[in-house]
Structures are given as structure tokens and as C-alpha cells.
């Protein structure tokens, strides 16, 4: 029934320890092409550590993560060469950080921020790069008139949208997001969520999004993973986990949310 016989990302028994403390213990799941998966849990539950391990930004102490490369072969993201990891991170993957300043070059122009990955892949034609940058700025609702301005002069919401454009310009198949909407005003958050929702559907992106905000998970994710104390305590369809939570911790999490 599905054109994809294997998952895009296969996560098996991933664990990470800091000193004597386990930050993540035995996390396992599959992510399929076009699927949005939310990892939720409170601060210190290990969700960001897990995200960084998936994206090969840190080496786990146990377990394996395989990514389905474009040639159809699953590749272990932790045992491949650093050059391969860097290529993956610049082409097939994106990583959207919570603070846009960590994911952008704050002192170079917005256009250069968007085009950096394309230039890294060898595109040199100035006119073409510029028109691609303009198209992407429009797509993330930034007036292309700002193309030569540095993100330092942008608002928080604009910076975050620019970071998204910068990540999506190479048409990645998998994007990692670490609390992309926290720290933004509620109205700005709604606009960004709507944009993310549209882009993930139009581009059929697979996304792993870490958030402590259950409303964000409800709006964006097909599936959810709930973490507590470094362990995955519950998984399932997003609305299933939120409307019929089984684990005591998930029930606590869901019942603690204020409904406006």
C-alpha cells in the first residue's frame, strides 16, 4: 500500500548518559516519510538530548539510528564519516533551533543566510541564487525588500521564519526542530505554526519536533512520543495520546494544561 517499504529514520535503543545520570534510556521508534512526530515532556525529560542524538549532533552511549539515504540504503548516522554527516546536515536534513541566533548568521544578509547551503553545494550563479532567496523569503512571509538586511535587524518571529527558509532551501527530507515556537509572542507563534503546517504538508517533510507545548503538538504532529525522566513512557497518534492518555505521567501532563 505504501511506496516506502522502510522508515526514513529507524531509532533503536538510543541511550545517552551524562556522568552517572541517564539523560535518555532505550528510546526506540520509526519515522516514515512525510510524518511529523512530536517529542513532548517537561524540562529535563531528555527530549532535546534525544533530538541531538538523532541528528548526530551528539554520540549516544548505546543504540543505533539509521537514516534511509536517497539511494534507498539505511545508513547508521553515528558511524558514517564526519564528511558524510556534514553533507547530510546540509542537504537532506534541516535543524531548526529554539533561538534563531543559534541557527542563523546574524551579521550577514538574509539572502546570504538563505543561500548558504546552495552555495555549499556549488551553486555560484548570483542572479539565480538571488531569485531563489527572494522566492523563499516570500514563502516564509518576509518582504523580499529585506533581502540585504542582516537578521540582527529582524523581529523574533521574522528571524525564526528566516531560519526555516535557510533550512528548507535544499528541499530536505527530514527536519529536526527544537522548540521552534517557544519564546515568541502568542500571535507570532500562531503565524509560525500555520506556516510550518503548510510547509510540512506541501513539501511532504518528515519532522521530529521537540516541544513542551501540547497545543503545538496537536496542531503539527501526526504522532507523539511522551518522555519522562529520560524514558519514553507513551507513544501513539497525537489526538489519541492527548484525548485518551494511558500513562499516569501523560495524564498529569494533559490535565495540567490550561484551556483558554
Partner 1 sequence: MNANTPLANATPILAIERVSKRFTMHQQHGAVLQVFDRVDLQVDAGECVVLDGPSGMGKSTLLKLIYANYRASSGDIWVRRQDGERVNLSDADPRELVALRRYTIGYVSQFLRVIPRVSTLDVVAEPLDEDAGGNLAARADAREKAGHWLARLRIPERLWSLPPATFSGGEQQRVNIARSLIKARPLLLLDEPTASLDAANTRTVIELILEARSNGTAVLGIFHDPAVADAVATRRIPVAGFREASSDQAARPHPTTQRVPA
Which stretches of the chain bind partner 1, using CB under 8 A?
A: 1-2, 32, 35, 190-191, 193-194, 197, 201-204, 219, 222-223, 235-237, 239-240, 243-244, 246-248, 251-252, 255
Q: For residues 35 and 92, which CB has a smaller minimum distance to partner 1 in the complex?
A: 35
Q: For residues 85 and 238, which CB has a smaller minimum distance to partner 1 in the complex?
A: 238
Q: For residues 147 and 188, which CB has a smaller minimum distance to partner 1 in the complex?
A: 188
Q: For residues 89 and 209, which CB has a smaller minimum distance to partner 1 in the complex?
A: 209
Please name the residues in contact with 224: beta carbons below 8 A apart, sequence gap of 6 or more. 37, 38, 39, 40, 217, 234, 235, 236, 237, 238, 241, 242
**What is the nearest approach in angstroms of partner 1 to the Cβ of residue 108?**
30
**Distance from C-alpha of 36 to C-alpha of 176, rounded to nearest angstrom:** 10
140 contacts 161 by C-beta, under 8 angstroms: yes
Quick one: DSSP state of residue 37? E
94 contacts 174 by C-beta, under 8 angstroms: yes
Q: For residues 110 and 193, which CB has a smaller minimum distance to partner 1 in the complex?
A: 193
**What is the nearest approach in angstroms of partner 1 to the Cβ of residue 153?**
26
**What is the nearest approach in angstroms of partner 1 to the Cβ of residue 139?**
12
**Distance from C-alpha of 83 to C-alpha of 80, rounded to nearest angstrom:** 8
For residue 12, give the C-alpha cell: 533503536
**What is the nearest approach in angstroms of partner 1 to the Cβ of residue 102?**
27
Paired residues of 232 in beta bridges: 227
Please name the residues in contact with 228: beta carbons below 8 A apart, sequence gap of 6 or more. 41, 42, 45, 249
**What is the nearest approach in angstroms of partner 1 to the Cβ of residue 243?**
6
**What is the nearest approach in angstroms of partner 1 to the Cβ of residue 218?**
8
Q: For residues 22 and 29, which CB has a smaller minimum distance to partner 1 in the complex?
A: 29
Backbone angles phi, psi at 45, to 5 degrees: -80, -10
Please name the residues in contact with 62: beta carbons below 8 A apart, sequence gap of 6 or more. 13, 14, 15, 26
Amino acid at each position: 500500500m505504501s511506496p516506502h517499504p522502510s522508515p526514513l529514520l529507524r531509532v533503536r535503543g538510543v541511550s545517552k548518559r551524562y556522568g552517572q545520570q541517564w539523560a535518555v534510556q532505550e528510546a526506540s521508534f520509526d519515522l516514515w516519510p512525510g510524518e511529523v512526530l512530536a517529542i513532548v515532556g517537561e524540562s529535563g525529560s531528555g527530549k532535546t538530548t534525544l533530538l541531538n542524538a538523532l541528528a548526530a549532533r551528539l554520540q549516544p552511549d548505546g543504540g543505533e539510528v539509521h537514516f534511509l539515504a536517497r539511494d534507498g540504503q539505511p545508513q547508521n548516522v553515528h558511524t558514517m564519516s564526519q564528511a558524510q554527516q556534514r553533507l547530510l546536515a546540509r542537504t537532506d536534513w534541516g535543524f531548526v533551533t529554539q533561538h534563531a541566533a543559534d541557527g542563523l548568521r546574524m551579521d550577514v544578509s538574509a539572502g546570504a543566510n538563505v543561500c548558504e547551503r546552495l552555495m555549499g553545494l556549488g551553486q555560484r550563479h548570483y542572479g539565480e541564487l538571488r531569485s531563489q532567496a527572494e522566492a523563499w523569503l516570500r514563502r516564509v512571509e518576509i518582504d523580499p525588500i529585506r533581502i540585504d538586511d542582516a537578521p540582527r535587524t529582524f523581529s523574533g518571529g521574522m528571524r525564526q521564519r528566516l531560519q526555516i527558509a535557510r533550512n528548507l532551501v535544499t528541499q530536505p527530507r527530514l527536519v529536526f526542530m527544537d522548540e521552534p515556537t517557544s519564546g515568541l509572542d502568542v500571535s507570532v507563534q500562531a503565524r509560525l505554526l500555520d506556516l510550518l503546517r503548510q510547509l510540512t504538508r506541501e513539501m511532504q517533510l518528515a519532522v521530529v519536533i521537540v516541544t513542551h507545548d501540547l497545543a503545538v503538538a496537536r496542531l503539527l504532529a501526526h504522532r507523539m512520543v511522551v518522555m519522562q525522566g529520560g524514558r519514553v513512557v507513551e507513544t501513539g497518534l497525537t489526538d489519541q495520546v492527548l484525548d485518551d492518555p494511558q500513562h499516569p505521567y501523560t495524564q498529569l501532563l494533559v490535565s495540567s494544561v490550561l484551556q483558554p
